[in-house]
Every structure is written in structure tokens, then in C-alpha cells.
Amino acid sequence: MTAGGLAPRARRPFPSRPALRTSAIALTVCSALLGWQAVSAAAAQRDTEAALAAARERVGEVLSYRAHTLDADQARGRRATTGEFTREFDRMSTTVVEPTARAQGTVTSATVVRVGLINARPDQVESLLFVDQTTTTAASPAPQVSAAQLRVTMRKVNGVWLIAGLVPL
């Protein structure tokens, strides 16, 4: 009993335990969501970089060939492509590249000198490539260098970035 005859009221700690628990849960959920978002963004960034690296490598494969190893070179180039572009690659190979290369003894080597990102989506990346192509023929053995700028679409197929489009600009 107190002097006034009333029992002492138990002082509840402030902030109360349920309020703190709720805050902790809310913050944990927010952190988890934001963390997941950050991890996804980092993965997307890595994916874009992988697509650009693949564009650099695969465009070189598609545009380089030698008359005396043409079949193997075209098979390698074909493996670097996907979708409708594979059919376009086949058509260009049989109607333009093959007859010309065999007739002229063409050896051509493409080097990507610069790569820029146009836009990126989860499974498709568009890029701008500056390419130098060095060509010799039996009649003209001195290397001729030509500069090209290409818009290249890369598509991820079964985890591998392949060329889905290539447009000279």
C-alpha cells in the first residue's frame, strides 16, 4: 500500500516491446527486399557486361574467314548466331561470301575496336560496335583496311549470348 492507498502502476517501457518488435520486423523485410533488388541490379549489370564482351568476340568470329578454311570458319560463325539472324547468315554465306571468297582467295579478319551500349533488357542487349576489317585477296595481297560501324543485337539463349541481329550503319 502507498500513502494514498493505491497500488503503484507498473511503468511500461517506452517504446514498448511490441512496437520495437514490429519496427524490427518491418525494417528486416524492407532490407531484404532492397537487398534482393540490389543483388538483381548487380546481376543485370554483370549480364550486360557479359553481353558486350560476347558481342566483341562473336562479331569477330562472324566477320572473319579465310578462303581455304571457309567451311570451318562459317560453321564457327554460324554457332555465334541465333534466331532469324542464323538464316540471314546462311543466306549471305552461300550467296555472297562463299562464291566471292573462293573465287578471289579472300582472307579477312575483323577486329572490334570499340563497343558502346545502346540499351539493355534482361535477355537482349543492343550495342554499337566500331569494327576494323582487314582484307587481302590473291590479286591484291596488300592488306586493305575498312572501317565499319555496326548495330549488334545480342540475345541470351540457354545462358549464352549470341548474335541475333547485325546491321551496318
Partner 1 sequence: MAGVTRPGEARRDHVAGWSVPLGILLVGTALLVVHNFSVAQLGDRRAAATSAAEKVAVDISTIGGDNAEQRLQSLSDESTSEFRRNLDQNSTTFARILREGRVSARANVTGAGVEHLDGRAASVLVAVSVMVVNSQRPTGELMKIRLRIRLEDERGRWLAAGVEAVP
Q: Is 22 one of the binding residues for partner 1 (CB under 8 A)?
A: no
Tell me the site size for partner 1, rule CB under 8 A: 31
Give me the least distance between CB of 48 and partner 1, in Å please.
10
What is the spatial distance between Cα 81 and Cα 23, in angstroms, rounded to a whole number?
52
Q: Is 147 one of the binding residues for partner 1 (CB under 8 A)?
A: yes
Site for partner 1 in 80-119 (CB under 8 A): 113-118
Q: Exposure pattern of 33-58 as b/e (b: 16+ CB <10 Å)?
A: eeeeeeeeeeeeeebbebbbebbbeb
What is the spatial distance between Cα 134 and Cα 88, in angstroms, rounded to a whole number?
23
Confirm if 149 and 164 have CB atoms less than 8 A apart.
no
Q: Is 53 one of the binding residues for partner 1 (CB under 8 A)?
A: no
Confirm if 108 and 135 have CB atoms less than 8 A apart.
yes
Give me the least distance between CB of 132 and partner 1, in Å please.
9
Residues engaged in binding partner 1 (CB under 8 A) = 11, 13-15, 17, 20, 23-24, 27-28, 30-31, 34-35, 37-38, 41, 113-118, 126-128, 130, 147, 149, 151, 169
